[in-house]
Amino acid sequence: MAGTAINFVSVCIGAPVTLHVQKYKDESNSITTWKFEETFMNYRANYSLTRNGMTLRIKEALPFHSGIYIALVKSKEKTRKVTFKVSVEGK
């Protein structure tokens, strides 16, 4: 599985957070799934997906949103992992 860099994101409580994965040319028919820590996400009211799942948005970040988010981009040839470490801090 390709991808090892960690993208660090720090926001204040209540601010929106946007995690975006760049799509490569050979990923035109890819499927993207997201994990929070090690669990596949179910997209509750405070989350939204855009751009064919390539962008995950947290509408109003709270401390419990802090942690590791992983996007798994699966194409015919490979699976690529993109990791984000989100820190939600006081105002």
Whether the Cβ atoms of residue 65 and residue 85 lie closer than 8 Å to each other: no
Please give the mean pLDDT across all residues of the chain: 88
Helices H, strands E: what count in the chain? Answer: 0, 8
Element at 34 (helix H, strand E): strand 31-36
Among residues 65, 76, 61, which one has the least CA distance to residue 34?
65
What pTM did the predictor assign? 0.87
pLDDT in tens, 55-68: 999 999 999 999 99
pLDDT in tens, 4-34: 689 999 999 999 999 999 888 777 788 899 9
